[in-house]
Structure 1
Protein backbone atom coordinates (compact mmCIF):
# COMPACT_ATOMS: atom_id res chain seq x y z
CA UNK A 1 0.00 0.00 0.00
CA UNK A 2 2.79 2.41 0.91
CA UNK A 3 4.49 1.60 -2.37
CA UNK A 4 1.31 2.50 -4.29
CA UNK A 5 1.09 5.85 -2.49
CA UNK A 6 4.72 6.57 -3.33
CA UNK A 7 4.06 5.67 -6.96
CA UNK A 8 1.00 7.95 -7.08
CA UNK A 9 3.15 10.80 -5.76
CA UNK A 10 5.63 10.14 -8.56
CA UNK A 11 2.76 10.36 -11.06
CA UNK A 12 1.69 13.70 -9.52
CA UNK A 13 5.25 15.07 -9.76
CA UNK A 14 5.62 14.04 -13.41
CA UNK A 15 2.21 15.45 -14.36
CA UNK A 16 2.76 18.73 -12.49
CA UNK A 17 6.11 19.19 -14.25
CA UNK A 18 4.54 18.41 -17.62
CA UNK A 19 2.28 21.51 -17.62
CA UNK A 20 1.02 21.14 -21.24
CA UNK A 21 -0.78 24.51 -21.23
CA UNK A 22 1.98 26.43 -19.42
CA UNK A 23 -0.30 27.36 -16.50
CA UNK A 24 2.37 26.83 -13.80
CA UNK A 25 2.16 24.30 -10.97
CA UNK A 26 -1.06 23.46 -9.22
CA UNK A 27 -3.67 24.16 -11.87
CA UNK A 28 -4.21 20.57 -12.95
CA UNK A 29 -5.45 18.87 -9.77
CA UNK A 30 -8.63 17.43 -11.30
CA UNK A 31 -6.86 16.31 -14.48
CA UNK A 32 -4.04 14.72 -12.49
CA UNK A 33 -6.52 12.80 -10.32
CA UNK A 34 -8.36 11.58 -13.45
CA UNK A 35 -5.09 10.65 -15.15
CA UNK A 36 -3.85 8.66 -12.14
CA UNK A 37 -7.13 6.74 -12.11
CA UNK A 38 -6.64 6.03 -15.82
CA UNK A 39 -3.07 4.81 -15.23
CA UNK A 40 -4.42 2.19 -12.80
CA UNK A 41 -7.17 1.13 -15.23
CA UNK A 42 -5.11 0.92 -18.43
CA UNK A 43 -2.15 -1.22 -19.38
CA UNK A 44 -0.75 0.36 -22.51
CA UNK A 45 0.67 3.76 -23.39
CA UNK A 46 -1.47 4.34 -26.48
CA UNK A 47 -4.74 3.90 -24.57
CA UNK A 48 -3.41 6.07 -21.75
CA UNK A 49 -2.29 8.78 -24.19
CA UNK A 50 -5.79 8.90 -25.71
CA UNK A 51 -7.35 9.11 -22.24
CA UNK A 52 -4.94 11.87 -21.17
CA UNK A 53 -5.73 13.81 -24.32
CA UNK A 54 -9.48 13.57 -23.70
CA UNK A 55 -9.19 14.43 -19.96
CA UNK A 56 -7.27 17.64 -20.68
CA UNK A 57 -9.35 18.50 -23.74
CA UNK A 58 -12.55 18.20 -21.68
CA UNK A 59 -11.20 20.60 -19.05
CA UNK A 60 -9.45 23.13 -21.26
CA UNK A 61 -11.34 22.88 -24.58
CA UNK A 62 -7.98 22.62 -26.25
CA UNK A 63 -6.28 19.56 -27.72
CA UNK A 64 -2.77 18.50 -26.76
CA UNK A 65 -0.95 16.92 -29.73
CA UNK A 66 -1.00 13.11 -29.50
CA UNK A 67 2.81 12.85 -29.59
CA UNK A 68 3.00 14.92 -26.37
CA UNK A 69 0.35 12.74 -24.75
CA UNK A 70 2.17 9.60 -25.83
CA UNK A 71 5.46 10.89 -24.44
CA UNK A 72 3.95 11.54 -21.01
CA UNK A 73 1.97 8.27 -21.14
CA UNK A 74 5.18 6.33 -21.79
CA UNK A 75 6.85 8.05 -18.84
CA UNK A 76 3.90 7.26 -16.55
CA UNK A 77 3.73 3.63 -17.68
CA UNK A 78 7.44 3.25 -16.98
CA UNK A 79 6.83 4.38 -13.37
CA UNK A 80 3.86 1.99 -13.12
CA UNK A 81 5.91 -0.92 -14.51
CA UNK A 82 8.80 -0.18 -12.14
CA UNK A 83 6.42 -0.18 -9.19
CA UNK A 84 4.84 -3.50 -10.13
CA UNK A 85 8.31 -5.07 -10.40
CA UNK A 86 9.26 -4.27 -6.82
CA UNK A 87 8.36 -6.71 -4.08
Structure 2
Protein backbone atom coordinates (compact mmCIF):
# COMPACT_ATOMS: atom_id res chain seq x y z
CA UNK A 1 0.00 0.00 0.00
CA UNK A 2 1.42 3.43 -0.94
CA UNK A 3 1.99 6.30 1.43
CA UNK A 4 -0.28 9.29 0.91
CA UNK A 5 1.78 12.46 1.19
CA UNK A 6 0.78 16.05 0.76
CA UNK A 7 2.57 17.84 -2.04
CA UNK A 8 2.61 21.62 -2.07
CA UNK A 9 3.79 23.61 -5.03
CA UNK A 10 4.19 27.34 -4.54
CA UNK A 11 4.40 29.48 -7.65
CA UNK A 12 5.84 32.79 -6.51
CA UNK A 13 5.86 34.38 -9.93
CA UNK A 14 4.90 33.11 -13.33
CA UNK A 15 6.01 35.06 -16.38
CA UNK A 16 4.52 34.07 -19.72
CA UNK A 17 5.97 36.24 -22.45
CA UNK A 18 3.68 36.59 -25.44
CA UNK A 19 0.48 35.68 -23.58
CA UNK A 20 -0.63 39.10 -22.37
CA UNK A 21 -4.32 38.68 -23.24
CA UNK A 22 -4.98 35.34 -21.54
CA UNK A 23 -7.50 35.15 -18.68
CA UNK A 24 -5.15 34.62 -15.71
CA UNK A 25 -7.79 33.20 -13.38
CA UNK A 26 -8.86 30.53 -15.87
CA UNK A 27 -5.23 29.74 -16.68
CA UNK A 28 -4.42 29.36 -12.96
CA UNK A 29 -7.44 27.11 -12.40
CA UNK A 30 -6.53 24.86 -15.34
CA UNK A 31 -2.88 24.76 -14.22
CA UNK A 32 -3.82 23.77 -10.68
CA UNK A 33 -6.34 21.13 -11.74
CA UNK A 34 -3.95 19.49 -14.21
CA UNK A 35 -0.97 19.55 -11.83
CA UNK A 36 -3.08 18.00 -9.06
CA UNK A 37 -4.19 15.29 -11.49
CA UNK A 38 -0.65 14.55 -12.68
CA UNK A 39 0.86 14.42 -9.19
CA UNK A 40 -2.02 12.25 -7.99
CA UNK A 41 -1.67 9.80 -10.87
CA UNK A 42 2.09 9.79 -11.41
CA UNK A 43 3.56 11.28 -8.23
CA UNK A 44 6.91 13.00 -8.08
CA UNK A 45 10.28 11.70 -6.89
CA UNK A 46 11.41 12.42 -3.34
CA UNK A 47 14.26 14.57 -4.70
CA UNK A 48 11.71 17.04 -6.07
CA UNK A 49 10.66 17.99 -2.52
CA UNK A 50 13.60 20.36 -2.23
CA UNK A 51 13.40 21.93 -5.69
CA UNK A 52 13.55 25.72 -5.53
CA UNK A 53 12.89 26.34 -9.22
CA UNK A 54 11.99 24.44 -12.34
CA UNK A 55 13.88 25.65 -15.39
CA UNK A 56 14.36 24.67 -19.02
CA UNK A 57 10.68 24.05 -19.60
CA UNK A 58 9.57 23.32 -23.15
CA UNK A 59 7.89 26.00 -25.22
CA UNK A 60 4.19 26.33 -24.57
CA UNK A 61 1.64 26.15 -27.36
CA UNK A 62 0.64 29.45 -28.95
CA UNK A 63 -2.99 29.60 -27.97
CA UNK A 64 -5.52 32.04 -26.59
CA UNK A 65 -7.20 29.24 -24.62
CA UNK A 66 -6.37 29.67 -20.94
CA UNK A 67 -7.45 26.10 -20.23
CA UNK A 68 -5.16 24.63 -22.89
CA UNK A 69 -2.28 26.85 -21.83
CA UNK A 70 -2.74 26.05 -18.12
CA UNK A 71 -2.80 22.31 -18.81
CA UNK A 72 0.33 22.51 -21.01
CA UNK A 73 2.12 24.53 -18.35
CA UNK A 74 1.20 21.98 -15.65
CA UNK A 75 2.53 19.14 -17.82
CA UNK A 76 5.77 21.07 -18.36
CA UNK A 77 6.20 21.79 -14.64
CA UNK A 78 5.45 18.17 -13.73
CA UNK A 79 8.01 16.99 -16.30
CA UNK A 80 10.55 19.37 -14.77
CA UNK A 81 9.83 18.06 -11.26
CA UNK A 82 10.24 14.46 -12.38
CA UNK A 83 13.46 15.13 -14.28
CA UNK A 84 11.86 14.70 -17.69
CA UNK A 85 12.00 18.34 -18.72
CA UNK A 86 13.89 19.66 -21.70
CA UNK A 87 17.64 19.60 -21.18
CA UNK A 88 19.55 22.88 -21.34
Q: TM-score, normalised by structure 1?
A: 0.36
Bigger fraction of residues in helix: 1
